[in-house]
Structure 1
């Protein structure tokens, strides 16, 4: 399992164990209710997913870089769904 797969797996475990749906997880971490996850909100998600504090900032930046399709340096719901679908595909 690559590091990316390991991180995505931990995010999936967090979402599955603590939220009824991915949308509920997204809304929980979207603290300012602007329908976008900032870097700080993404770091909180990673912290709750038990990603090491040492790499959390780097991972957050890479997630945003990898999934932010409109270039606003935020993760909106559609981009979050794309990340979630990648998690589900890596399970199969």
Structure 2
């Protein structure tokens, strides 16, 4: 399993074990309630998923780069849902 898969798996475990739904996870990490996750909020999610502090900044940038479809530098609910669906598909 590559590093990307390990990270995505940890995120899936966090969401599955600590939240009833992906919506609840999104709302929990969307601290300001604006419907979008900032890089800082994504870093918090990665910390909760037990991703090493050394690579959290890099990983958060890569997640935004990979899933930010509208190019605003943030992850909205639809982009988050797409990422979660992809993570779920990869774990099967």
Aligned CA RMSD, in angstroms, stands at 0.5
For 2:48, the equivalent position in structure 1 comes to: 48
Could you give the per-residue CA deviations for residues 14-64 of structure 1, whole angstroms, max 9, x where no partner exists? Answer: 001100000000000000000000000000000000000000000000000
Q: Which runs of 4+ in 1 moved over 2 A?
A: none
Q: Which runs of 5+ in 1 are unaligned?
A: none
Q: TM-score if structure 1 supplies the norm length? A: 0.98
Q: How many residues align?
A: 92
* Structure 1 residue 3: Cα displacement: 1.0
Q: TM-score if structure 2 supplies the norm length? A: 0.98
For 2:33, the equivalent position in structure 1 comes to: 33
3-state SS in 1 of match to 2:51: coil
Q: d(CA) in 1 for partners of 2:4 and 2:68?
A: 16
